[in-house]
Amino acid sequence: MMEGRPMKFRLLEVFGEGERWNCEVIPEMQREYGMGDRYGADTINFDIIEMATCGFLSRIDVKVDSEGLYREGSLLIRYRITDLGRAQLEKIGKNLRKKGARA
Amino acid sequence: MGATASDAESMRIRNRHRKIRYGYMMGMFLALLWGLWYVPGSLMWLIDPFLGLYESVAETNGDTTAMIVTAVLISGANALMATVVLTIWNAHLRKFREIKRTIVEFRAVSKYLLLAAVFAGPMAVFGSYLATGFAGAAFSAVAALAFPLVGTALTARFAGQKLSGRAIAGIVVVVAGCMCIYVVGLIDELRSGGMEAMGYVGGLMAIFGWGLEGLVVAKGMDISEPDAAFHIKMLSEVAIWWIVIIPILILAGFPIQDYVLGIFTDPAALLVVTCSGFAFGYCTICYYKAYPMIGAGRAMGLSAMNAMVAVIFLFVLAGQVPAWTVVAGGALCVLGIFLMFYEKEENLESIRGEQGASA
């Protein structure tokens, strides 16, 4: 439902489908949004961090990336959507622009 | 291999510390740039074409109307130039596609950014000019500085952002310190008996305009990227000034059209407006980046420091020696910031206090 919509809409939807590691979600989003380079990955990671700070995602596990899944030596975080995040996702869902009307 | 769970935990704490420091740095830069903005911001009143417009309207409609009409052109020019700066910034950051994706989702997100532009632009800016015109500059400044308190209360009530007692105390102390700067001027204005009711209306418009901007921005920023969000807010503001308000004033018979071209052809005006746009544009960037990291209340509290920065710049650049109230105000600001900065970092894990339970 959120494909091609603003990045944080889509991220809420993806985390709404189940717990995920950031290193799994980032490459998926990079492909979807055509942001394949390192800068694109950092941008998406930062969006996820902001959403966690906003209280929409909660951290359930952390580990150091020793296999280069995202970037060797960086911190990998597993997130779960919070009740607040789910309520936000629902609210966005009700207010989405109709697909057919898209420019 | 070999990284243990405790390595990961200590790395997480380091990352959290970096993130919070980044949010506070953005808040400090916001205050610095806002304070700096007052230099071109006040210069604009003194140079053509703005001065020419002021004089021409003053002749026919009086000083107060002239001030309001000139304020509209200055605000419009400032918003336009700030948007040009943001466009270059976002072209570099490759955010245009995200901006487009965000703009079209009007009901879900961009309506908040349009509302933010209405509250910040015509309501708050116009209100603060009314306050200046009908009550006095010190009253206007004190009114403008009260907005973090209103904004913090609104975001706590309507956007669910949580603040510790310590953070609230810090915000109150910073705001009180900044107001202290204007206390002598305010007492003089009150004593003079020249305050008019419109001045109080203007003051309230400024307080609630910026406070409400804080609230709607907090709601919009939850689900949008800061770079895209502030660009959309500034685009909306440009539209409000140049498509709605300036044409209405021209239709009402004010000769603004004769002076618009001068902004771009007069080298001095262009230089000052460009400086103003740069300061304002980057100030907005810092504001919106601080939001998701440290929350609306802390960002607004830090932004009140612009009054202190303005005093310092005026001291350095124009040699205006600050009074003892300014020194006292400055000391309070520093104390308030220490109060905010040295609260437990766990409190800032999430600006809504969500993470704690699961950590």
Answer yes or no: is B42 within a domain.
yes
User: Which segment of A22-36, A41-55, B295-309 scores lowest on mean pLDDT?
Assistant: B295-309
Q: Does A60 touch chain B (CB under 8 A)?
A: yes
SS3 content of chain A, % helix, strand, coil (to 5): 50, 15, 30
Higher pLDDT, B317 or A27: A27
Q: Does B55 touch chain A (CB under 8 A)?
A: no
Answer yes or no: is A1 within a domain.
no
Q: Does A98 touch chain B (CB under 8 A)?
A: no
Sign (positive or negative) of CA dihedral B198, B202, B207, B208: positive
CA distance A62 to B7: 10
Comparing C-alpha atoms, which of B174, B180, B288 is closest to residue B231? Answer: B288
Answer yes or no: is B89 within a domain.
yes
Answer yes or no: is B37 within a domain.
yes
- pLDDT band, residue B2 (cuts 50/70/90): low
Sign (positive or negative) of CA dihedral A16, A94, A103, A51: negative
The verdict on a CB contact (< 8 Å) between B107 and A96 is: yes
- Write down the pLDDT at residue B358: 34
Shortest CB distance from B107 goes to which of A58, A75, A95? A95
- Write down the pLDDT at residue B39: 80
Query: How many domains does chain A divide into?
Result: 1
Residue corresponding to tokens 């600050």:
B322
- Expressed as residue numbers, the domain containing B257 is 21-353
Answer yes or no: is B4 within a domain.
no
Give residue-wise pLDDT tens across range B299-328. Answer: 887 887 777 777 777 777 766 666 777 777
Q: Does B13 touch chain A (CB under 8 A)?
A: no
Torsion of CA B190, B195, B198, B200, to 10 degrees: 10
Answer yes or no: is A41 within a domain.
yes
Answer yes or no: is A65 within a domain.
yes
Answer yes or no: is A89 within a domain.
yes
Task: Mark residue B353 as left, alpha or beta (left: phi above 0; alpha: psi -120 to 50; beta: remaining).
Answer: left
- pLDDT band, residue B355 (cuts 50/70/90): very low
Written as one letter, the residue type at B98 is: E
- Write down the pLDDT at residue A78: 94
The verdict on a CB contact (< 8 Å) between A96 and B225 is: no
Answer yes or no: is B12 within a domain.
no
Query: How many domains does chain B divide into?
Result: 1
Q: CATH no. for residue A41?
A: 1.10.10.10
- pLDDT band, residue B357 (cuts 50/70/90): very low
- Expressed as residue numbers, the domain containing A13 is 7-93
Whole-number average pLDDT of chain B: 83
The verdict on a CB contact (< 8 Å) between A97 and B352 is: no
Answer yes or no: is B53 within a domain.
yes
- Strands A20-21, A75-81: parallel, antiparallel or unpaired by DSSP? antiparallel
Answer yes or no: is A80 within a domain.
yes
Answer yes or no: is B16 within a domain.
no
